[in-house]
């Protein structure tokens, strides 16, 4: 269930109440008259089945409530009542498969900020990946994948393309365009320092990268794995099954490729640099492509549901 907290201007209250009470997927409707002060209005609370949450929110936005009042959404972990069960049964589909588009937009918007923490995670993840490349350690490569924050902006790019939101696309691409070069640049300096003081080996021969050499040698499997991971990641992001996202993060070699570029540049192996750059490009493109296709399919089902809802209401 999704909990709605609405601040409604008095002249819209009756319309909002009628909208909520007429929907079989909505329950626990509560009105507290004059409770809101900023903005002023009535406070209306309600629970809606996850499957119909975006449909109901679209109706509320059609009433201009997003501009004249407030629409807030919260996840309901448990709703123990026959009324809640009836509301979920009235909504077609499964809650775990439903997409609450407003939540998807909010999540991706939050993860596209070019913040100090985003840059810090990019640098830390790339540094870990570089050590993994130098030591030929798959464990460190996996650790770098988990730490890397790049999937958020990549998912946001997919959302921006499907919903044609230039502002979100600009923020997401900016985060990626700044984050990867900064991570690679700092890691390059660190690798050069490590080599100069003797922490890193004086030479890094290809035969020393038996377990991590795949990072700079992309093939069709690189594209396929990144595409599948991107699809799984987007489904995880848009559904209630967020546990799969960690598995997605350790399936693609974006951050390891960036770390490998820095290490290879340190040792003057420009062939490795080119291979790692190609791996990075393949992964980024494949993830975004998978995200766009996945979201487009989900959006198509939502638009059909919305049309049926409007037809029934009309």
The DSSP symbol for 25 reads T
- CA-nearest of 51, 137, 173, 65 to 101 is 51
For residue 263, what pLDDT is reported? 92
The helix or strand, by DSSP H or E, that contains position 29, with its residue range, turns out to be strand 26-37
How would you class 72 by CB atoms within 10 Å of its CB: exposed for 0-12, middle for 13-18, buried for 19 or more?
exposed
Residues 6+ apart with CB under 8 A from 301: none
Enumerate the domain spans of the chain: 2-98, 105-301
- According to the model, what pLDDT value does residue 247 have? 54
pLDDT at residue number 240: 59
Residue 105's nearest CA partner among 73, 78, 76, 77 is: 73
- Please give the structure tokens belonging to residue 129: 């990946």
Question: Among 3.40.50.800, 2.40.37.10, 3.30.70.260, 1.20.1250.20, what is the CATH number of 2-98?
Answer: 3.30.70.260
Enumerate residue ranges in the chain where pLDDT < 50.
none
Looking at residue 262, what is its pLDDT? 94
pLDDT of residue 314: 62
CA distance 45 to 48: 10
- pLDDT at residue 15, as a whole number: 94
């Amino acid at each position: 269930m999704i909990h709605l907290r609405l601040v409604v201007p008095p002249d819209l209250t009756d319309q909002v109440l009628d909208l909520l009470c007429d929907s079989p997927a909505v329950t626990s409707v509560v009105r507290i008259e004059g409770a809101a002060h900023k903005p002023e209005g009535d406070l209306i609370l309600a629970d809606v089945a996850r499957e119909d949450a975006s449909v109901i929110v679209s109706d509320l936005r059609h009433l201009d409530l997003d501009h004249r009042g407030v629409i807030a959404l919260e996840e309901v972990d448990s709703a123990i009542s026959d009324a809640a069960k009836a509301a979920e049964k009235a909504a077609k589909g499964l809650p775990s498969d439903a997409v609450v588009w407003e939540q998807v937009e909010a999540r991706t918007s939050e993860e596209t900020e070019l913040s100090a923490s985003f840059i810090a995670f990019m640098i830390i993840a790339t540094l870990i990946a570089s050590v993994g490349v130098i030591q030929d350690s798959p464990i460190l490569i996996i650790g770098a994948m988990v730490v890397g924050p790049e999937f958020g902006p990549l998912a946001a790019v997919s959302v921006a393309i499907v919903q044609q939101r230039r502002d979100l696309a600009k923020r997401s691409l900016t985060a990626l365009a700044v984050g990867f070069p900064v991570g690679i640049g700092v890691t390059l300096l660190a690798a050069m320092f490590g080599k100069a003081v003797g922490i890193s080996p004086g030479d890094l021969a290809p035969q020393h990268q038996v377990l991590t050499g795949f990072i700079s040698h992309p093939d069709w499997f690189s594209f396929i794995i990144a595409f599948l991971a991107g699809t799984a990641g987007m489904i995880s992001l848009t559904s209630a099954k967020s546990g799969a996202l960690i598995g997605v993060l350790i399936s693609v070699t974006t951050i390891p490729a960036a770390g490998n570029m820095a290490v290879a540049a340190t040792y003057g192996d420009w062939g490795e640099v080119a291979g790692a750059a190609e791996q990075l490009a393949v992964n980024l493109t494949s993830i975004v492509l998978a995200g766009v296709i996945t979201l487009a399919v989900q959006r198509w089902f939502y638009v059909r549901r919305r049309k049926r809802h409007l037809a029934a209401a009309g």
